[in-house]
Structure formats: structure tokens, C-alpha cells
């Protein structure tokens, strides 16, 4: 019985991915830029089980519900096709993301699954091939294959992978404001945005420009420019999402208050910038030397967790998955 375990971390985008040009290959309409975190790992073990009639999936020891199990099976089908295998597998995943932290688990989940399944099925995949494979599970998972700052390129199937970028050092302060589950998944919301927003074309062209500017800021080691672009792009994404019909609003009054507070802190000389994914929680970026102070200033708004740049997805030595 072949088995392999891998660990991967979530990532938070500075230049966001929102919209697919191909929903089956998961090709984005524009590139994006993110930081892979050093906290909240997902560890996944894949064991081939040629006698089993179907794949099985568990998350934190609990058998997966139908929808996540189907998503795992569809992903394993891609791996089996690459490997020329028909063997079913048992997939056991342990996620350290608190279920109510408001962080998406799919990026770390599919990055760990890509590495573990690739190895269990005997494929030899380099980082680029792993990133392309992880992308098929969840777009943002392409970036969790890579450590630290990662750019995920738009393009065709062969061109759309993530790779490392150098840039300024900074921390992220995760500000948990609302613990309820999101009402519209990012997958469904992306489709609605593409079909109904009158601003969608402008979003695609302006994101490509924002990404170029953010990469230039990274190359120049310019935290200020990168921070300003990060906040701008998050607010543009939320404006776009709100312009769908029917509208989708992920930001709550508490999220807006957090953006206001970050602006105030900046005006008072404490440099930090806010962003938010497809939900009400806010992530703030700050220079490493300012991160604890920024977290202390935000603590009246919600729970804060300071995180830094972490490693890409890695294969674990046999028996290390615990």
C-alpha cells in the first residue's frame, strides 16, 4: 500500500484572484500575489487502497460530508489520470485552522493534497507541476505550494502556476470579527460577478496593472507601495463583488470600522494596510517591527493573531504526520 503525507499553509492575497476564464481548468482572469503563512497548517495523508470501491476522506478525524468528499475524488481523478492508475485512496486531513477563524482552508488543503497524492501515486512533480495541479482543486491553492511571497500567473493550463517573488518583509495581523459561515461561496460568487457585474472588464484589466505595480514594489523592496496597492485592490474587489446582481456583500460594519481604524493608525504614523477576502474578517499588514503594536491597537475590534511568511507545501518523512 503506497502512502504519503504532506503539510501546507494557507495564503492571503495582496493582489486578489477573483474570476475564472476557464472554470474547469481553474484559469484565473488575471494574476495574483500572496503571502504563504507560517501558521494554521493542514497535514494530509493519502493511502492507496486498490481494494476499495470509492475514495474516502476525513477531516480532523470526522468522515467528510458528500460535497467535500466529491471534491477530493474529482481531484484524485486528475492525479490518477496523470499516474495511469485506477486505485482508490483514503485521504485523512488534519487542519490547524480554527473552524471559526474566518480563514479559507481550501488553499492549504488542496496544496497538501496535491503533494501527498502526487507522491502516493508515484508521480514526480516539480514545484511548477504541483502548483498547476493544486490549482485544479482550488485556485488559490496554486500559491500555497510556494513559500512566502508568490505570484500566480494568468495564462493557459501550462502557464498558470505560482512561483516565488522577492520582496519586503512584513507580518500579517489576522483580525477575526465575525465567526459565522459565509453565505455565498467564493466559487459561486465569482460566477455571479462575471455574469452580472457591469464593472467586470475594468476589474480584469485593472488587476493586471495592479499586479505589475505590486511586483515592481516587491522588486524595489518598497513596503509602502505594496501596502497601498494591497488596500486599494481589496476595496476594488469588494466594490466589484457588491456590484453583482443580486449584490453580494461580504464586509460588515465591523469590517468597515477596521479599515477606518487602519487608516487612522496610518495617519498617526503607524504604518499598516488592510485587506479582506470573501468574508467579513480583515487582515492587516505591517512591518515586522510594528506588528505587535498594530495588533495591540486593533484588539478592541476583535481577536488578533500575528502571523508571518511560511514555507511552501512539503512532503513529510514517513510516519511524521502523527
Contact residues toward ligand PMV (CB under 6 A) are 13, 16-17, 32, 104, 106, 138-140, 186-187, 277-278
Least distance (Å) between residue 107 CB and ligand PMV: 6
CB atoms within 10 A of CB 65: 10
Distance of CA 272 to the CA centre of its chain: 21
CB-nearer residue toward ligand PMV: 139 or 312: 139
CB-nearer residue toward ligand PMV: 138 or 255: 138
Distance of CA 284 to the CA centre of its chain: 16
Least distance (Å) between residue 32 CB and ligand PMV: 5
Least distance (Å) between residue 209 CB and ligand PMV: 17
CB-nearer residue toward ligand PMV: 26 or 115: 26
CB-nearer residue toward ligand PMV: 179 or 187: 187
CB-based contact 200:193 (threshold 8 Å): yes
Q: How far apart are CA 100 and CA 149, in angstroms?
A: 25
Q: Which three cell numbers stand for residue 242?
A: 457588491
Least distance (Å) between residue 87 CB and ligand PMV: 28
Stated as kind and residue range, the H or E segment containing 231 is helix 223-242
Interstrand relation of 11-15 and 32-36 (parallel, antiparallel or unpaired) = antiparallel
Least distance (Å) between residue 316 CB and ligand PMV: 24
CB-nearer residue toward ligand PMV: 48 or 276: 276
Measure Cα distances from 37 to 10, 86, 99, 282, 317 in Å.
6, 35, 17, 15, 21
Least distance (Å) between residue 162 CB and ligand PMV: 11
Least distance (Å) between residue 88 CB and ligand PMV: 26
Long-range contacts of 187-193 (CB under 8 A, 24+ apart): 189/241, 189/244, 189/248, 189/278, 190/18, 190/19, 190/20, 191/23, 192/244, 192/245, 192/246, 192/248, 193/18, 193/19, 193/240, 193/241, 193/243, 193/244, 193/248
CB-nearer residue toward ligand PMV: 76 or 278: 278
What three-state secondary structure class fits 322?
Answer: coil
CB-nearer residue toward ligand PMV: 125 or 211: 211
Amino acid at each position: 500500500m503506497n502512502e504519503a503525507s504532506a503539510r501546507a499553509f494557507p495564503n492571503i492575497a495582496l493582489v486578489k484572484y477573483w474570476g475564472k476564464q476557464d472554470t474547469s481548468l481553474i484559469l484565473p482572469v488575471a494574476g495574483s500575489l500572496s503571502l504563504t503563512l507560517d501558521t494554521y497548517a493542514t497535514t494530509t495523508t493519502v493511502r492507496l487502497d486498490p481494494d476499495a470501491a470509492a475514495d474516502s476522506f476525513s477531516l480532523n478525524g470526522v468522515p467528510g460530508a458528500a460535497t467535500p468528499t466529491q471534491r477530493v475524488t474529482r481531484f484524485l481523478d486528475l492525479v490518477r489520470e496523470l499516474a495511469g492508475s485506477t486505485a482508490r485512496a483514503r485521504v485523512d486531513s488534519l487542519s490547524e485552522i480554527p473552524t471559526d477563524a474566518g480563514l479559507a482552508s481550501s488553499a492549504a488543503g488542496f496544496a497538501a493534497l496535491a503533494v501527498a497524492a502526487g507522491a502516493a501515486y508515484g508521480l514526480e512533480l516539480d514545484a511548477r507541476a504541483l502548483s498547476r495541479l493544486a490549482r485544479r482543486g482550488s485556485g488559490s491553492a496554486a500559491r500555497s505550494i510556494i513559500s512566502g511571497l508568490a505570484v500566480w500567473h494568468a495564462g493557459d493550463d501550462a502557464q498558470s502556476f505560482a512561483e516565488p517573488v522577492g520582496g519586503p518583509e512584513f507580518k500579517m495581523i489576522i483580525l477575526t470579527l465575525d465567526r459565522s459561515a459565509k453565505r455565498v461561496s467564493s466559487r459561486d460568487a465569482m460566477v455571479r460577478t462575471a455574469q452580472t457585474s457591469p464593472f467586470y472588464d475594468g476589474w480584469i484589466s485593472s488587476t493586471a496593472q495592479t499586479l505589475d505595480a505590486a511586483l515592481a514594489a516587491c522588486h524595489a523592496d518598497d513596503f509602502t507601495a505594496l501596502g497601498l496597492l494591497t488596500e486599494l485592490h481589496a476595496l476594488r474587489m469588494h466594490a466589484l463583488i457588491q456590484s453583482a446582481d443580486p449584490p453580494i456583500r461580504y464586509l460588515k460594519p465591523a469590517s468597515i470600522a477596521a479599515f477606518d481604524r487602519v487608516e487612522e493608525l496610518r495617519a498617526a504614523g503607524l504604518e499598516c494596510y488592510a485587506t479582506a477576502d470573501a468574508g467579513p474578517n480583515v487582515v492587516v499588514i505591517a512591518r515586522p517591527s510594528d506588528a505587535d503594536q498594530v495588533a495591540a491597537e486593533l484588539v478592541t475590534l476583535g481577536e488578533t493573531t500575528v502571523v508571518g511568511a511560511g514555507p511552501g507545501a512539503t512532503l513529510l518523512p514517513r510516519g511524521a504526520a502523527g
